[in-house]
Structure 1
Amino acid sequence: MFVLELTYTAPLAAVDAVLPAHVAWLDEQYEHGVFLASGPKNPRDGGMIIAVAEDRARIERITAGDPFVTAGVCAYRVTEFAATKTAPALEPYRETLG
């Protein structure tokens, strides 16, 4: 499982100009089963995404295609972790170590 932290690198007006394309990209990732949750940070200086994928390389390819990235208005920090305990709704994503 991955936590994706977006940090805006441009003024909010530039971010907002790309927001519709970013939302369409988010919808596509939800349809593919990659994203589980997402939303803006508070204060609004970026956002957070919870994602699942077979490996970090796939996540990095996906984030590179975010319109926010291609427009140069945000940077990503990708953190991978083993979800060894989850809420019941996330049980399909639970991992075991070893």
Structure 2
Amino acid sequence: MFVLELSYTAPLDAVDAVLEEHVAWLDALYGQGVFLASGRKEPRDGGVIIAVAEDRARIEEITAGDPFVRAGVCAYRVTEFVATKTAPELDRYRETLS
């Protein structure tokens, strides 16, 4: 599982100019089962996404396709973690340590 932290690198008006494309990108990845939760940070200087994928390389590919990244308005920090405990609704994502 991955925590994707977005930090805006441009003024909010530049971010807002590509927000609609970013939301469509999010919706597509929710539809594929990659994204589990997302939202903006407070104060509004970026966002956070919880994601699942087979490996970090896939996540790097996904984040590179974000319209925010393509427009140069955000940077990602990717943290991979092993979800050994989850809410019952997330049981299928639970992992064991090797």
Q: If the length of structure 2 is used for normalisation, what is the TM-score? A: 1.00
Question: Equivalent residue for 1:8?
Answer: 8
Runs of 4+ in 1 over 2 A off after TM superposition: none
RMSD: 0.3
Structure 2's unaligned 5+ residue stretches are none
Q: Does residue 1:58 correspond to 2:86, yes or no?
A: no
**Alpha-carbon distance, 1:46 to partner:** 0.1
Identity of aligned residues (%): 82
Q: Measure how far apart 1:18 and its partner are.
A: 0.3
Residue 36 of structure 1, CA deviation: 0.1
For structure 1, the 5+ residue unaligned runs are: none
**d(CA) in 2 for partners of 1:32 and 1:61?**
15
Please give the alpha-carbon distance, in whole angstroms, between the structure 2 residues aligned to 1:38 and 1:53: 15
Cα distance in 1 for partners of 2:58, 2:28 equals 15
Cα distance in 1 between the residues matched to 2:75 and 2:28:
20
Alignment of 1:30-45 (within 5 A): 30-45=30-45
Q: Deviations over 1:5-62 (max 9, x none)?
A: 0000000000000000000000000000000000000000000000000000000000
Residue 92 (str. 1) matches residue 81 (str. 2):
no
Residues matched between the structures, number: 98
